């Protein structure tokens, strides 16, 4: 998911300072998504189906698109892909347009669970696009002991030390420590945050690197044997090497939901709803799942392709009920600052 | 020919306007930003305070400044040691060979910085070409970790900036009057003494320019530490980058930028003083 294409982000520095294009034409929309997070021909198909031109803009991280949206009041974007905690943030900033359910009839295709997620019950301001969890992705042929705990990542045995990567995106970096300590992934207690920060600083010594983008290729090459990974991206490794496995640690993990939202500033909301409706079409959403190898919360789509995908990629077979056992990642409000600070300190520690 | 005031104004205007618009104004904005606070969702709360600067000199971040300075300083020094002999050799080569040799020195710039840096990953990683080579040569142990540490970052910086240093020193050597070599030797100095007492002191401006160049480019660099340091080696450039793009703490990022700008200004000032003194000495 969070395609941390830092290179793209670099050039975006300038853009985040408030320069944003305007989409004026009646029948065109601007969609911002992570790079590689939807099929490449999506916009052509959308144009063929509806006659609406769609322009894709890419963001590398949730943080980056948040920067652009807050700086420009959302101007220049119609549909934006963001993760669930940021739906709440954008909602609090009053930047989102409500989803007009009448114009998105395909909402009915979503699993019942996906229609009642705590950050936005009833899909009033956001529509789930993909969902999943975070866990450990490893080379079963190169690790001697069973991998089943967050502590395998944070306090590894000698044969794993130096061959581990972790995510550095702050919510997931912190989640690994919080879960290992038995805390909530949304814990806001400053004492817990400090404790987790210290734990993660200690863990840094055993890492090969922090990696949010190419960890699966490090597993394939054997450079790393255990990586902290989002389920879908582990699948990219599994596709190349059958010895790569994904496991949700026994302490549990988070449920993340990547969503589509419509900006309040959009001048073409009908086309924006049409795009979301187009994505939710069972055949289209199934094509998304096959393409990005992440679970989609679309029952009709998963009924079509879920079984076949799960044969090659076991984590594609996780049911909504199993996902609901994970802890939904929420917006932290003011405590977000503490998380940011802690992760900055972890990255800065020697 | 005397240039009129108008001519001067017309000639200097575009350059000055460029600097004012794209350098002074943005820096001013960043400076102002550094006195405010980050909002809950990454915006800016306009509460005037010095908290960001107080935080920037916290030992944790000061350490990153020191570490960055150490890495950048080491890179500058190694680059100088590699570049000086090369520049000296080029400048003493037959004139018709000099242009092709300089051309070779800057040839790497024809490919993208990122690709050149990625190439080092391919060479150095645990399963990379070097480790495979060692294995072919009979090395039996665990693959050697050469990537994702300070050394790899220094290597990447040196590799990328050596050509600049060669150019700086080459231009400073070729500016010397060729007769001073003869004069020195006629007066009985050995080759080493000629170099050490006559040539080297007069190329100090080139050395200073090369060193400062590598240092300044290195200390603010964030791509090389990110790729070759694997995110484990943080330099001040990464810290600033993260404040703007991931932490969304623009005010703190702004304060860090200003501390860095301060350090660079001191260095550039020192270099200017050094260059000035060397020139003054030449005239006297």
Distance, in Å, from the CA atom of A83 to the CA atom of A329, rounded to the nearest integer, reads 9
- From A236-240, A286-290, B191-195, the region with the lowest mean pLDDT: B191-195
CA distances from A13 to A70, A72, A194, B26, B114 (A): 14, 14, 30, 13, 18
Tokens of A234: 């582990």
CA B16 to chain centre: 24
Give the one of B38, B42, B60 whose C-beta lies nearest to A348's C-beta: B60
Tokens of A204: 């840094």
Predicted TM-score of the model (pTM) = 0.83
Put simply, the answer to whether A66 touches B42 (Cβ < 8 Å) is yes
Residues 291-320 of A with CB under 8 A from B: none
When computed from its CA atoms, the radius of gyration of chain A, rounded to whole angstroms, is 20
Distance, in Å, from the CA atom of A339 to the CA atom of A194, rounded to the nearest integer, reads 9
- From A151-160, A281-290, B178-187, B248-257, the region with the lowest mean pLDDT: B178-187
* pLDDT tens figures, B12-44: 999 999 988 888 898 898 899 999 988 877 778
Measured between beta carbons, the chain A residues lying within 8 angstroms of B114 are 7
Fold of A132-254+331-348: D-Maltodextrin-Binding Protein; domain 2 (3.40.190)
Residue B256 has pLDDT above 70, yes or no: yes
CA A288 to chain centre: 15
Q: Rounded to the nearest 5°, which phi and psi values hold at B23?
A: -125, -55
How many other C-beta atoms are found inside a 10 Å radius of the C-beta of residue A19?
A: 11
Domain residue limits, chain A: 6-131+256-317, 132-254+331-348
Q: Which of B65, B246, B255, B256 to mutate: most A Cβ within 10 Å?
A: B246
Q: Provide the shortest C-alpha distance from residue A16 to chain B (in Å).
A: 9
A47 contact partners, CB below 8 Å, separation of at least 6: A53, A54
Does domain A6-131+256-317 correspond to CATH entry 3.40.190.10?
yes
Strand, coil or helix: what is A254?
A: strand
Domain residue limits, chain B: 59-283
Distance, in Å, from the CA atom of A36 to the CA atom of A184, rounded to the nearest integer, reads 31
Put simply, the answer to whether B248 touches A63 (Cβ < 8 Å) is yes
Judged by a CB distance cut-off of 8 A, whether residue B67 touches chain A is yes
Q: Provide the shortest C-alpha distance from residue B63 to chain A (in Å).
A: 8
Tokens of A135: 């866990």
* DSSP code, position B151: H
- Tell the burial category of B9 from Cβ atoms under 10 Å away from its Cβ (0-12, 13-18, 19+): exposed
Residue B198 has pLDDT above 60, yes or no: yes
By C-alpha distance, the chain A residue nearest B26 is A17
Distance, in Å, from the CA atom of A61 to the CA atom of A134, rounded to the nearest integer, reads 16
Bridge partners (DSSP) of residue A137 are A227, A246
Measured between beta carbons, the chain A residues lying within 8 angstroms of B248 are 63, 66-67, 340
When computed from its CA atoms, the radius of gyration of chain B, rounded to whole angstroms, is 23
**Mean pLDDT of the residues in chain A:** 89
Percentage of residues of chain A with pLDDT beyond 70? 93
Q: Respond yes or no on whether ipTM tops 0.90.
A: no
Q: Provide the shortest C-alpha distance from residue B231 to chain A (in Å).
A: 5
CA distances from A256 to A48, A230, A231, B248 (A): 32, 9, 11, 21
Bridge partners (DSSP) of residue A131 are A257, A295
* pLDDT tens figures, B138-168: 888 888 888 888 999 999 999 999 999 999 9
Measured between beta carbons, the chain B residues lying within 8 angstroms of A165 are 230
Bridge partners (DSSP) of residue A81 are A260
* pLDDT tens figures, B209-239: 999 999 999 998 999 999 999 888 889 999 9
Q: Strands A254-263 and A96-97: what pairing?
A: antiparallel
Residue B207 has pLDDT above 70, yes or no: yes
By C-alpha distance, the chain B residue nearest A336 is B40
Q: What is the second-level CATH architecture of the domain B59-283?
A: Orthogonal Bundle (1.10)
Alpha helical stretches, state H, chain A = 6-16, 42-50, 62-72, 84-92, 150-154, 170-180, 190-204, 215-221, 231-238, 269-280, 282-292, 299-312, 320-324, 336-348
Q: Strands A53-59 and A96-97: what pairing?
A: unpaired
Residue B283 has pLDDT above 50, yes or no: no
Put simply, the answer to whether B239 touches A344 (Cβ < 8 Å) is yes
Q: Rounded to the nearest 5°, which phi and psi values hold at A291?
A: -80, -45
* DSSP code, position A110: B
In the prediction, which pLDDT does A26 show? 56
């Amino acid at each position: 998911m969070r395609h941390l294409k830092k290179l793209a982000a670099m050039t975006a520095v300038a853009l985040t300072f408030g320069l944003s294009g305007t989409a004026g034409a009646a029948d065109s929309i601007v969609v911002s998504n992570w790079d590689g997070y939807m099929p490449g021909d999506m916009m052509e198909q959308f144009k063929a189906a509806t006659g609406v031109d769609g322009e894709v803009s890419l963001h590398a991280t949730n943080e980056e698109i948040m920067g652009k949206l807050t700086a420009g009041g959302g101007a220049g974007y119609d549909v934006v892909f963001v993760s669930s905690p940021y739906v709440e943030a954008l909602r609090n900033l009053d930047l989102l347009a409500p989803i007009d359910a009448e114009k998105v009839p395909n909402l009915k295709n979503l699993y019942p669970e996906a229609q009642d997620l705590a950050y936005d019950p009833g899909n009033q301001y956001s529509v789930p696009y993909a969902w999943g969890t975070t866990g450990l992705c490893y080379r079963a042929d190169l690790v001697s002991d069973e991998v089943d705990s967050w502590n395998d990542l944070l306090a590894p045995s000698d044969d794993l030390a130096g061959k581990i990567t972790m995510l550095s995106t702050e919510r997931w970096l912190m989640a690994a420590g919080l879960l290992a300590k038995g805390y909530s992934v949304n814990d806001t207690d400053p004492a817990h945050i400090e404790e987790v920060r210290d734990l993660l600083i200690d863990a840094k010594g055993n890492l090969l690197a922090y990696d949010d983008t190419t960890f699966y290729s490090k597993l394939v090459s054997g450079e790393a044997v255990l990586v902290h990974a989002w389920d879908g991206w582990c699948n990219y490794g599994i596709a190349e090497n059958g010895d790569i496995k994904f496991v949700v640690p026994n302490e549990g993990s988070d449920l993340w939901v990547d969503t589509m939202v419509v900006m309040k500033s959009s001048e073409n909301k009908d086309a924006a709803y049409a795009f979301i409706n187009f994505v939710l079409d069972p055949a289209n959403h199934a094509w998304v799942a096959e393409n990005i190898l992440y679970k989609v919360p679309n029952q009709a789509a998963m009924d079509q392709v879920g079984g076949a995908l799960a044969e090659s990629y076991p984590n594609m077979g996780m049911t909504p009920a199993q996902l609901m056992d994970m802890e939904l990642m929420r917006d932290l409000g003011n405590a977000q600052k503490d998380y940011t600070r802690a992760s900055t300190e972890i990255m800065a520690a020697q | 020919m005397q240039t009129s005031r108008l001519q001067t104004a017309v000639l200097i205007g575009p350059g000055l306007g460029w600097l004012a618009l794209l350098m002074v104004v943005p820096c001013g904005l960043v400076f102002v930003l550094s006195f405010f606070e980050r909002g809950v969702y990454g915006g800016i709360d306009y509460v005037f305070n010095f908290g960001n600067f107080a935080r920037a000199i916290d030992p944790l971040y000061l350490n990153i400044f020191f570490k960055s300075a150490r890495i950048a300083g080491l890179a500058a020094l190694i680059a100088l040691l590699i570049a000086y002999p090369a520049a000296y050799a080029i400048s003493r080569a037959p004139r018709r060979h000099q242009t092709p040799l300089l051309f070779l020195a800057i040839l790497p710039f024809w490919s993208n910085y990122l690709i050149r840096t990625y190439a080092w990953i391919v060479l150095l990683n645990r399963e990379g070409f070097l480790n495979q080579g060692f294995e072919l040569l009979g090395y039996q142990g665990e693959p050697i970790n050469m990537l994702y540490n300070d050394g790899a970052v220094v290597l990447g910086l040196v590799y990328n900036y050596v050509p600049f240093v060669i150019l700086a020193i080459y231009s400073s050597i070729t500016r010397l009057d060729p007769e001073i070599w003869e004069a020195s030797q006629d007066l009985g100095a050995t080759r080493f003494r000629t170099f050490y007492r006559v040539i080297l002191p007069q190329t100090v401006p080139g050395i200073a320019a090369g060193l400062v160049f590598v240092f300044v480019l290195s200390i603010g660099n964030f791509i090389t530490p990110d790729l070759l340091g694997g995110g484990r080696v943080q330099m001040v450039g990464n810290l600033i980058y993260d404040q703007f793009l991931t932490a969304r703490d623009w005010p703190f990022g702004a304060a860090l930028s200003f501390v860095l700008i301060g350090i660079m200004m001191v260095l550039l000032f020192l270099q200017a003083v050094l260059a000035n003194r060397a020139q003054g000495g030449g005239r006297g």
